[in-house]
Structure 1
Amino acid sequence: MADRGATSAAAQDPDDWPARPELSLALNRMGCFDWDLDSGLMHMDSSALGVLGVTPEEYDGQPASLARFLPGAESARLDAQVSQALKDGSSGYSTYVRARHGDGPDSWIHVQGSIQRDSGGRPHRILGVFRDATQELADAAGRADLDEERVRQTSVVERVTVILAHARTVSDVIDVLEDARALGHLGLVSVILGLVEGTRIHIVAEGQIGSNVPEFEYTGIDERFPMSEVVRTLNPRFIVSREEFESCYPVLWPHIEPLDVASAAYLPLIAQGRPIGALGLLYSDKEGFTAEDRNLIITLGTSIAQSLQRAMLFEQEHDLAEGLQQAMLPRRIPVIPGARVAVRYRSARLGRDIGGDWYDVVPLPGGRVGVAVGDVQGHDTHAAAVMGQLRIVLRAYAAEGHNPATVMARASVFLYELDTDRFATCVYAEVDPATGAMHVVRAGHMDPLLRQTDGTCRRLPVAGGLPLGLSAEFHRLEYPVTTVELAPGETLLMYTDGLVEQPGDDLDDGIDLLTRIVRDGPGELQPLADKLCAMAEARGGEDDIALLLLRRQGGDVPQSSGRLQQHVAQGDPEALSSARHMLRAALRAWGTGGRADDIELVTNELMTNVLLHTDGGAIVTVRMLSGAERRLRVDVEDVSSALPRRRDPGEAGVSGRGLLLVDRLTDVWGVESRGGGKVVWCEFMTLPDGGARP
């Protein structure tokens, strides 16, 4: 059966033209079969038997005998497909089956049959071919693997591009390039990123998947390096072999060779038509670059360049905004006798997203100190500018000697009259380190915290008013004053909401967390302030933070061991005489170590100046301060804001010598503004005294 009509393809002359069909089929590993469904016999030519690896002697004309040359699953699948085609009226079928060849490798065969039917649609014959498809499927699998690899690399580039879209700083971009999970699937052994700085390229990132390229940190753009070349020419450079790398860049090659680099791609990073950096991609197993490879790499470089430019702009804007904010804050914190102060300011992390947070420390008359923390609405440079103006105004009102309620009210009116559509919250405290007396006012701000000497920490409830600006707009300028005593060793903590506020979290939870950290934190102020800022960083807050800590020392401040006060009215000589008698009595009782005459002369001069040069009277206060050194202090207060000034009395002048006397006879003196006038004060060092207090 198998030999019927069979013709040996090998016996034919391949030079015959045109070639007979049997020769063409045999040379292309194809053969024909004719299956008579009525008799059940299947004729197969010699080429078809050769495709199956069957000799004519092994085939008996029965289709079932072919099953032993096919794996059981393959034979069953072929039978099922033929049966289905015969039943459903199909005109043919086509499938691939795997064939066994003894101890040799299996092959793949493409079986295709055309079903012949009679006029009633009954199948009676199948004409078809067997074709060796082993190489075809191998090529298809290779193409599929190649396509899969291209899809995978494309997806890596797309994923990196998405990640880079969220990079806000240069450090963020570097983190992406050094992340093995982000770029490792591209088959890279190392990634190098350089930024153009003037006429040099600064390498800011190198290394990938545990490797490192110790290229020079700075290289000139005119030097013989691949990064320098791509920056100069603005064209990518693809190095396809180790030999090319070594010959073109002999200085760099000794550093690259240990990494077993087979090829490399260097790209200029171009933004707005100018190079801002260069990118180096080193491969260990890539031989050459196809057009698709080059397009993919250039796309990656373009994405990195855009992200890098965006990051640089963000950092420039952030530096500008932060510089503005820092310029608005106090340049130095004054030394406060009897108190220790720690302050911190941390700007927002992103771009121009800074706010109007501030702190301030204001020395006040009589050794007192004013401390404030506030926050202007908004997160932009305008908020920072408004903050600077408001801080200076609040400081000026406090330094003039106004009480805390008046300071807040006047600051609110000022902010309202700026017409900025901004409001501000603030907490302000006036502290006397000598006595511990503390007067606190609050304008829409959070309550401060109080850390006690045993480490416990609690909120300090403070009666509050409306935020600054709003209270003036709604004519509600009342700011109640809360008075508490700050014991020696206790710490006042004032802060803005950036320290405790977290999007989606309850504000009270943030304050409770802050309270616990203050309670368990370091005892010293500076380490405690650092820990609180680190807490905010760890929580990922993106708001400004202003923080002020004040601790009363107590023992460092001179304490008043005696105090006398006398009011001297205009045109009242008896009050002037009474003040002089009061001063003499105090000096006799306290003892002055021989300085009584100087003290009387200076005090008389100051009282006389008030009565002669102002329209009001004087309040004379005499105190003995005991501390490391015993001092007597004289304060003469009046209602005039005009400050005393030295004048040249001339050779015969009898006026203008008062301040010269004060300057010569006192150990120290000065002038302090008060809300309703001024105080001229002076101090005299005195010897220890055992006399009684008056």
Structure 2
Amino acid sequence: MDRVVQAVSLLVDRQGRVVAVCPRDTTVGGQPARRVLGRPAPELFGPASADKVADLLAAPDGGLVPALLATTAESGPAQSVWVRARPLLAEDPSGPVLELLIGTGPREWLLERTPLGLWCADLVAGVNQRDESAAALYGVSGAGALTTTEFLTRVHPDDVPDLLSLQLDAAEHPGRVVQAHFRFQGEDGGWRWLLTWACSFTVLGRPLLVGVSAALDGGPVGGASDEGHRIARRVRRPAEELLLAPSQERVAELLLERFPALIGATQATVGLLEGTRRLRIERRPEPPSGHDAPWVVPLDAALPLAVVARTGRPTYLSREQYLALAPTGGTLVAEPRTRSWSILPLTDPGGAPIGAWALGHDGPDGLATTAVAAVREVARLAGQALARTGRTQPYLDLAGAFQAGAAQLPPDAVDGLAVTVRHQPSQDALGLGGDWYDLIDLRDGTVMVCVGDVQGHGANAAPLMARLRTLVRAYALGSPDPGEVLGLVNEFLDRFPVTATATCTLLRLDPRTGAALVARAAHPPLLVAGPDGSVRAESIAGGIPLGVLPGQSYPAVPVDLPPGALLALCTDGLVEGPDLPLEEGLARLGGLLAAWPGEDLEQLADRLLPLAAQTGHQDDATVLLVARQP
């Protein structure tokens, strides 16, 4: 089937000069992006097409026209492409976006299947505008504008910090292309994985963030023929394991076995700093018996692995180049299929050397260009994990004490209610987790019920989780409105000295009447199982995660709990993950809850926690059940 195999977006100013190239690691006509910046866009095309492109820039209408893209001598003759120019905003006086669709296919076919959406965010007004293509990608109706708050409400809570970091990075470095992956919930309730590139400019005195979004799963960007994009998608989720690794041995195991398999490497070698003067080497596969490859090498050795560890600069070598540098074989023992190596530094967050990571490839050119950024990100996270696991055992012990303090409910809950909880911390976090839960007796016959989830898990999340649990309890004793309590917690986190976000469901329940008020901060919906076996998910409009933006409101919505009914509150680790969309996870949870009230509450809770194993990741998982007595 004909299909687009590459799509490139060029952001052009009003003088027709290229000011940004998306994606940032792409090539245009065989030239890297840095050689294209600042050049008049028409000059990138052959003589027969330059005027045509200039006309497109003068009147950008989104129509596709054929053109010939000039190429370097090394990359061959001029390349046939489809070109279109689209204005960012009707009132935007900055230049348009010029898109190159490189591949084959009829014009109409390309117009229907070009999943590139344009958007522009006014950083002062807090408004995000999108075109029709972006709206289709996001799963929302029509072109138009969303406030920053409205937009972030639809972003998966785990991805909000990445998007905020992208915005800050772009704003601090005008003209630099930044990029991030994120999940966005469309109006149909489904989640979409998107890749967005962005660049900031000042237009008429206003800072604007100009962006291009694309679908991660298919389409011109990262299509089936682009191995680099496939690698980037494969390593995205497993990279989270590095953040949770409990030891340096586990980090090395991931670098030697898990990631090479995902990347398609022929072999892997890790050299970790031992003391201050030498590297200890591990290899997969291990060298054949009798091979005298060194297991320890001086850090100041001339071998490429040591040079990369010492200088912090990545190196890409062909087999011949490596053998010329290390004729005796050195630290890398080549498998028969290995024809080139990528060697990346492992450093702590401050840039100090920790070691180096080498990957073998069966092709002469090393990593695909589009995969380099993803693999470097893995190396960066691995360096952070190695630094953390090498120095934080006392901190882990302290966090464990916090976790133990949070894993308790009052021994005798409240008259008229039966309560039980099941909690499972992340499997890679030494029994630590970011989930918390609580049942607070307000001394007026009502109770506050709370389940929350600090974004992240392990040692970094546990102390904050313990503080948030105490904070919610303190505010709840002073306010009967759960929405007001969440608002107060949000303002506290906005003033917290470190970045901290969390999701939470908080409700006030009167066991005598079954009347409840529920407020939600980007947390999974709560489920109500009726005494007749019916199960419903309460549709409660929730605000954005706590700690993202100040001044947020979290409206409290009334919910009725009939006699004999059951409330189920959970964290996303129980019902959502790479292998389990949220809607399907909630449906599975509801199916098990339908056994109520004929099943014992404790036995029912025991059957719920194994749902976490179906999500495809090792996040914390919590479920709290509150049953009103008949």
Q: Same fold (TM over 0.5)?
A: no
TM range (shorter): 0.3 to 0.5
- TM-score scaled by structure 1? 0.34
Instruction: Identify, as 1 or 2, the structure richer in helix.
Output: 1
Larger Rg: 1
- TM-score scaled by structure 2? 0.37
